[in-house]
Amino acid sequence: MKKKFISLLVVASMALSMVACGSSTTTTESGGAAPATETKAESTSGANELTVWCWDPAFNIYAMQEAEKVYQKDHPDFKLNVVETPWQDLQTKLTTAATSGDLSTLPDIILMQDNAFQKNVMSFPDVFVDLTDSGIAFDKFGASKVAYSTVAGKHYGVPFDNGAVIQALRTDVLEQAGFTIEDFTDITWSEYIEKAKVVLEKTGKPLNSCVAGESDLIVMMLQSAGGSLFNEDGTPNIVNNEILHEVMKTYVELIKSGVLVHVNDWDQYVGSFTNGTVAGTINGCWILGSIQTAEDQKGLWQITNMPKLDNVSSATNYSNNGGSSWAITSNSKNKELAIDFLSKTFAGSVEFYETILPKSGALATYIPVGDSDVYGEPQEFFQGQAIYAMITDFASKVPSNNTGIYYYEARDAVATALSNVISGADLKAELETAESTVKFTMGQ
């Protein structure tokens, strides 16, 4: 089964590399662009140097550069080479190195999407450094965030950005229907539907939108009750998953009631709440950046937690969608330096997180930051709410879930099942088909 999965990864990586071949990889260290022909990632790293691969200059790369400055206060000779590497390229290079058995092309530190972390560690265990006994304070992060990079009880990643789920609502629209943000705080999905129906009747506006055929809200609802699409042994948990059944039934009711509307793509999704077609959204906290592009709506929004599932004993009002963590590769010649750098910045500095927040909007999952003055500052766009402290608190309450190797395949199969159920197909039959699809992909 593992051989089949690795073969699939190699094929996907080759395809991705063909797509990405027109883009160049550049380093943001002051020395300028790295030669395109350079293959030995560690060759640029001296005794006090580290090389990092990550993407997004305004977010992840900026955070790394600021972390370098923080670490240099006590280590003035320290130098960081940050190489801009899009996620698809990074996954391709990682897969190629691991399957070829030549890890010399890998840098000291890589950024890993949380939902892909377990897949990569389980598929390529020799690539990642075990950080369990490194001294990094994993208990200072939300347990659910740490779980993404934990395999067989061992820690392989240092958590970074926050994907805690928020419910954002237009309070001016709520007011027209006789509600406030408090009426949508700490509620169940059945309560949400009933109140949202009142909003729809009195204002003509649905409270939420999602891209048709995608499963983001499904997996958010599932994780909010500690549910997963896999059992602990890695086998699919779809057909007999009671939490998933409740999630699917709730989603169908949201659609049928008209309080959740489907759109065709991401641009339409963002446009639905920025142009006022819908009066809210539920997503990872990174959606705040999109909400705030509607400058004419400043002061009309507030946030709260998401609704929780009815009829599920483990249900909570908290979940996660998205995020990433840092990993140290076994190719690193400076493992101890890499550990110390991460432990004193991303895993140990409130000052660092306070620095990067205003410019990048990079919210931490590092719990001590929630009490900082910067995180507690009221935000004018959201009617003076201290949204960053709120979201850090949300993140600390998110239940953990099991992503496993085939997370994306299972998510897509469930999304297809959901589309069919909304069109009138039988729920149980569709879930059976979804589980069979995942098992086939796994080679079972």
pTM of the model: 0.82
Distance of CA 96 to the CA centre of its chain: 24
Distance of CA 307 to the CA centre of its chain: 19
The pair phi, psi for residue 302, each rounded to 5°, is -140, 160
Q: For 271-331, give the DSSP string.
A: HHHHTTSSSEEEEEGGGHHHHTT-GGGTTSEEEEPPPB-TT-TT--S--B---EEEEEBTT
Q: Which long-range contacts (CB under 8 A, 24 or more apart) does 437-444 make?
A: 437/409, 437/413, 438/229, 438/236, 438/238, 438/406, 438/409, 438/410, 438/413, 439/236, 441/8, 441/406, 441/409, 442/1, 442/4, 442/5, 442/236, 442/405, 442/406, 443/1, 443/4, 443/5, 444/1, 444/235
* Domain 165-319+401-442 part of CATH 3.40.190.10: yes
Q: Which CATH number fits domain 2-162+321-374: 3.40.190.10, 1.10.10.10, 3.40.50.620, 3.30.1330.10?
A: 3.40.190.10
Domains 2-162+321-374 and 165-319+401-442 fall in the same CATH topology? yes
Given the structure tokens 């330096």, which residue do they identify? Answer: 337
Please check whether residue 326 is in contact with residue 111, taking contact to mean a CB–CB distance below 8 angstroms: yes
Hey, where are the domains in the chain?
Answer: 2-162+321-374, 165-319+401-442
**Per-residue confidence in pLDDT tens, the chain, 444 aa:** 444 444 444 434 433 333 333 333 344 443 333 333 334 544 345 789 999 999 989 899 999 999 999 999 999 999 999 999 999 999 999 999 999 999 999 999 999 999 999 999 999 999 999 999 999 999 999 999 999 999 999 999 999 998 999 999 999 999 999 999 999 999 999 999 999 999 999 999 999 999 999 999 999 999 999 999 999 888 999 999 999 999 999 999 999 999 999 999 999 999 999 999 999 999 999 999 899 999 999 999 999 999 999 999 999 999 999 899 999 999 999 999 999 999 999 999 999 999 999 888 888 889 999 889 999 999 999 999 999 999 999 999 999 988 878 999 999 999 999 999 999 999 999 999 999 999 999 986
